[in-house]
């Protein structure tokens, strides 16, 4: 009996390297289903590609988009990890995008900055030794940002060590070790937008073993992704002074402070620093399970 011919792989074309960052293709993490897919940046394969991934911040004119007309039933995937106010010319994407890929949980392909996985007794977590109180890393310093305005109030009531451009130096090799010495980390987002919860929480706080003090979307939004007793939200306090008093009280009460790590017996953060590989690899499974072919009238309307 003649075996059935194997299906050709689905070809996924990365139209540009995201922000010029290169990475190994066709080497997806084990937990991401990439079977039956072939990833390429070779634009000569455009006419046979099943999907083309378009990283929004690398496109500023129509001339930078793939050529039209496109091959029949080819999916164009809009990829973006920035909040709306950091994006320009979204109207370029009107009626040409078939699948969305972003940090928004209602994307066709959900690509969060981080996530938790079940501990399953695999890790006996120990709180790192603490010798300092509050840290914050910030390079994009703009007075109009809510996070800078809040910091300017909070610093009047407790010591905050600020790292980054124009502040204390923090070499990449010392990043984790330094932050792990702090009891609290200010995971302050530069933009307030639904589901926009970045590595400031996942890596700088959780993975380093510090309690995150968050400024971003609502507490309810955070609790969709992390336990309610794993973080402190600025909105829980009537003022920066009240928050400072609370942090200082926790500093003097080890038992209460340790309660912010109770969740570590059930979950652990996935180490996912920005390599882009996981995000792109997710396109394979999504393409195999793609809904009926359709075009999205307005990315701007959906993403606002």
**pLDDT truncated to tens, each residue of the chain (304 aa)?**
555 556 789 999 999 999 899 999 999 988 888 999 999 999 999 999 999 999 999 999 999 999 999 999 999 999 999 999 889 999 999 999 999 999 999 999 999 999 999 987 666 889 999 999 999 999 888 888 899 999 999 999 999 999 988 888 888 888 899 999 999 999 999 999 999 999 999 999 999 999 999 999 999 999 999 999 999 999 999 999 999 999 999 999 999 999 999 999 999 998 665 678 889 999 999 999 988 888 999 999 999 8
CA distance 77 to 114: 21
Q: What is the DSSP letter of 26?
A: T
The pLDDT value recorded for residue 189 is: 96
The pLDDT value recorded for residue 6 is: 67
Q: What is the CATH number of domain 116-269?
A: 3.40.50.11660
82 catalytically annotated: yes
Q: Where are the domains of the chain?
A: 10-112+274-303, 116-269
The pLDDT value recorded for residue 197 is: 97
The pLDDT value recorded for residue 300 is: 93
The pLDDT value recorded for residue 122 is: 65
Q: Choose, from 82, 194, 199, 223, the residue flagged as catalytic.
A: 82
What separation in angstroms does the CA of 53 have from each of 143, 271, 281?
Answer: 35, 24, 11
Within 10 angstroms of residue 205's Cβ, the number of other Cβ atoms is: 25
Give φ, ψ of 13 to 5 degrees: -100, 120
The pLDDT value recorded for residue 168 is: 87
Q: Are 78 and 100 in contact (CB under 8 A)?
A: yes
The pLDDT value recorded for residue 121 is: 66
CA distance 156 to 153: 6
CA distance 197 to 114: 8
Q: What is the pTM of this model?
A: 0.92
The pLDDT value recorded for residue 1 is: 52
The pLDDT value recorded for residue 162 is: 96
């Amino acid at each position: 009996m003649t075996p059935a011919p194997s299906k050709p792989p689905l070809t996924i074309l990365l139209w540009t390297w995201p922000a010029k960052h290169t990475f190994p293709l066709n080497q997806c993490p084990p937990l991401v289903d990439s079977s039956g897919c072939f990833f390429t940046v070779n634009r000569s394969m455009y006419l046979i590609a099943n999907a083309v991934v378009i990283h929004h911040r690398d496109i500023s004119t129509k001339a930078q988009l793939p050529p039209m007309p496109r091959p029949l039933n080819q999916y164009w995937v809009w990829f973006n990890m920035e909040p709306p106010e950091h994006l320009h010319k979204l109207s370029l994407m009107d009626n040409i995008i078939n699948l969305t890929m972003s940090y928004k949980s209602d994307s066709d392909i959900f690509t969060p900055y981080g996530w938790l996985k079940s501990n399953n007794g695999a890790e006996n977590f120990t709180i790192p030794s603490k010798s300092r109180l509050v840290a914050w890393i910030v390079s994009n310093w703009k007075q109009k940002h809510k996070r800078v305005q809040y910091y300017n109030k909070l610093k009047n009531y407790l010591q905050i060590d600020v790292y980054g451009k124009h502040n204390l130096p923090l070499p990449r090799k010392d990043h984790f070790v330094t932050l792990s010495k702090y009891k609290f980390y200010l995971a302050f987002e530069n933009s307030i937008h639904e589901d926009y919860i970045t590595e400031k929480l996942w890596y700088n706080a959780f993975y380093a073993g510090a309690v995150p003090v968050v400024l971003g979307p609502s507490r309810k939004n955070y609790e969709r992704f992390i336990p309610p007793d794993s973080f402190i939200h600025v909105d829980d306090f009537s003022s920066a002074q009240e928050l400072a008093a609370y942090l200082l009280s926790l500093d003097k009460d080890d038992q209460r402070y340790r309660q912010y790590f109770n969740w570590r017996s059930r979950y652990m953060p996935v180490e996912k620093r920005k390599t882009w590989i996981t995000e792109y690899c997710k396109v394979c499974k999504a393409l195999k399970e793609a809904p009926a072919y359709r075009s999205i009238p307005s990315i701007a309307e959906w993403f606002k």
